Amino acid sequence: MHRTLALLAIVAACGKTDRDHATPATAPAAAPTAVLARATQADLARDIADADRLGTWREVQQRWHGQTVRWTVTHRHLLCRSADDCNVAAFPIQRPAQQGWMPALQFAPGQFDALARRCGSQDPCEVTIEGTLSQLEVSPELPTSVQLSNVRILPPPTPRTQTDTSPPRQGLRPFPEHRSPCWSEAPGRGSWWTSMKLGAMSWPHHTGDSMTGMNVSFVDQLCAASSESQHLEFKEAKSSFDKGDLRDYCVALANEGGGFLLLGVSDTVIGGARAVVGTQAFRKPIELEHFVLQTCRFRIDVGEVSHPHGRVLVFSIPGRPKGIAYESNGRYLMRAGSSLVAMSPDRLKQIFAEDAPHWGEELVRERIQAQDVVDLFDIQRFFELLKFPYPTTQEGVIERLRQKRLVRHHHGTYDITRLGALLLAKRLEDFPEIARRAARVVVYQGSTKLQTRIDQVGQRGYAAGFQLLVNFIMTQMPRREVVESSLRREETLVPEIVIRELVANALVHQELSIGGTSPLVEIYDDRIEISNPGTPIVDANRFIDGYQSRNEHMAELMRSFGICEEKGSGIERVITAAEESHLSAPDIRVGCERTHVIVFGLASSIARSSGSTAST
């Protein structure tokens, strides 16, 4: 159940190098050669980061498998429903540090009850556990999978006191060491944002009313971020900054899951980083905490850093509670690139529904046998997509499905989730509740809807049948003859890479809570239209740099299957492929509860371009 929460979205792209497509390391039979002196989750995260850089995946697995580890983790009732189905967060469940793996726990006798007594009604609950790292799967292509066995609940650690001046335990360094002032080389794979994938970013540690870690080095690390995001904002504010604007940014960042606002830093990147320019705004920062608390009803922390190049104010803004959106003067604000915009009704609806179970987590089959699961799912295709060898036992098959949260174990029987059926069903008609979600392809005669030539509804799950769907669309695509170097060849109306990326996006980003509708592909003689239920979470003009997934679990699984990516490069790939084929850029239109992407063929693209030129 790793990365289940909405705040745990995975940032990874398709199109890896040959090294990235290496077969995942499998658990070694031998015990580790030596007991590790340091075996915290941060140490494991650091080793995984090194493996990503050096390709030492198998060495990491051999070093860690079988080790006895003692970790402080976060327990959530949603993630740990029973002794047979329990995951914990290895890193704090909060943003901006928003990603991480979630170990599965197998308890020593009586220890699940000890966990329940320890946490009681507290949710989330921080506990220290000790267990054997019995399963570790690491690879460049798939999310890290961790399982601890013989887990025991340990007494709580001695709390840090306000007089303790030692730094908090560090995980991965956000950046390689670089010079102060703020100027530095642009960060690479080891940058802060990449490190967040491992959930080990070292955010300032709250102690009483102060924030340790809020220092020159930390400001420099933030300055070196390659771009602003939903969680990071820079303002020069050399002389002043409006309190109303401060309130708006605090609300928007909180609604995005939390982040940092820095005053006294240029928002222009030069030489790989931003310059500290200093600010004279808000000479009494402590008053701002009270101002935001009174006007926004949540608490922020303000740090004043004496940087060599000027005074910097750092506002640390917490994420909103689950199911709640903050407002400023009646506006529910969010980020859209570097701007603040009002949330769409669709986004607000999604936030207010967060306390309810996600659509994909609901069950479509309950209390069935393992053989029934195998019969209903395209298991062969599942393992082919993961590039994993087919397990030798039925138990191995079911365990892999359970790890992906597509089935649940229930006292010797199994439950199938909606998402599991939607992705892997051999026949969607076997699941009447979701059969209406099947992708539909309609082919028209001419450039209007007057005459339908083909109306085909998909039969298989999205992942199991994705390549078949793409192949069918390509066979129905209008073609034209091209002559190059005296040789004739056929060219489709739209390149396959464009179809593949747009169809994958339509499947992943649809609003599943809207009933009676599904992703739709419409093929005309001069264009192709691909649409999905729901309006975008991110403004259509920010699709490239403002990625946010509506269906986080589906997006993660589809990425692991090699079908889609998760950080916005898909739409950039579509635009690049269209330009290389001399087509106009995709036309993105947001209608009533539906998002449309239209790609015109060459003749229509030329006509549209000529029309635009004439009008100017």
Q: Dump pLDDT digits (tens) for 317-376.
A: 998 988 889 999 889 999 887 789 999 887 888 788 777 778 899 999 999 999 999 999
CA 245/CA 513 separation, integer angstroms: 35
* Cis bond before residue 391 (omega within 30° of 0): no
**Secondary-structure percent of the chain, ordered helix, strand, coil, rounded to 5:** 30, 25, 45
Q: Is the pLDDT of residue 192 over 70?
A: no
Beta partners for residue 74, in sequence order? 89, 126
Residue 462 · residue 422 · CB < 8 Å? yes
Q: Dump pLDDT digits (tens) for 205-227.
A: 333 333 445 688 888 888 887 66
Q: Is the pLDDT of residue 150 over 80?
A: yes
Q: Is the pLDDT of residue 470 over 80?
A: yes
pLDDT at 203: 40
Pairing assessment for the beta strands 520-523 and 440-444 based on DSSP bridges: parallel
Q: Is the pLDDT of residue 555 over 80?
A: yes
Best CA proximity match to 198, nearest among 105, 119, 100, 336: 100
Best CA proximity match to 171, nearest among 43, 52, 71, 74: 43
Per-residue pLDDT band at 99 (split at 50, 70, 90): very low
Q: Which two tokens stand for residue 131?
A: 């267990």
Q: Which two tokens stand for residue 458?
A: 């998909």
